[in-house]
Amino acid sequence: MRELLLYGLEQGETRDYMETLLLSGAKTMAEIEKVKELATNAGFHSFRVASYNGEKPNFAKAINV
């Protein structure tokens, strides 16, 4: 079962590795858009949407690209 994740940077933050997970478990883009709106009003920016299908992470593959 695919779920959507939403990440964003806090106000004043510019380093990508400092992303905050704002939402997990979303099923639709409408849910993502609602949280993006709320987060924008709270000062978050530079949003990123990712999906997760329940698979185990493969760290070796991520490092050895």
| pTM for the predicted model, two decimal places | 0.80
In tens digits, what is the pLDDT along the chain, a chain of 65 residues?
789 999 999 999 999 999 999 999 999 999 999 999 999 999 999 999 998 888 887 888 878 76
Residue 39: half-sphere exposure toward Cβ, Cα within 13 Å: 22
* C-alpha span between 2 and 15 (Å, rounded): 28
What the block records as the tokens of 15 is 């380093």
Tell me, what's the pLDDT at 65?
60
Sequence spans of domains, the chain: 3-48
Q: In the sheet that 20-26 helps form, which strands lie side by side, from edge to edge?
A: 20-26, 3-9, 45-52
